[in-house]
Structure 1
């Protein structure tokens, strides 16, 4: 059983957080599955990420360049999206 005197064992907490962090599952789904609150599981995930932050390998130069390019493209797409939203709102208002 995962509980011990009304508390969850550290092993259970780590395994639950690992389900979310390493398997890219939603907190809501895992929380329902194991019977804990979403906020509780979110806190466990934050602690797990913080404890395992150094486990991730550093980015290579090619990966850094790709990341910068993707971030630039993301900013560009966000600007285009905002412009299109404003244009749609303007033309919708003009029709009235």
Structure 2
């Protein structure tokens, strides 16, 4: 007869991922410690990993970030142009008049 598959709750998986992130041990060591296959832990990491101060990435979030980056790049280009104009104006007005 085959072995019974272990079933874990979502809460257990999330807590395990948090535990993995807090440890300095390798995933292989933790897998051995918890008696859970290493591949399973890697799957859980992929699914439940959370980064502090980093929102989960979605397509909409990426679109918003790309739009914001384009706007900032345009603003930067405009500011560089303004600086160049101001430098030219300073040069013109700082010349001595005879």
TM-score, scaled relative to structure 1: 0.44
Higher helix share goes to which structure?
1
Higher strand share goes to which structure?
1
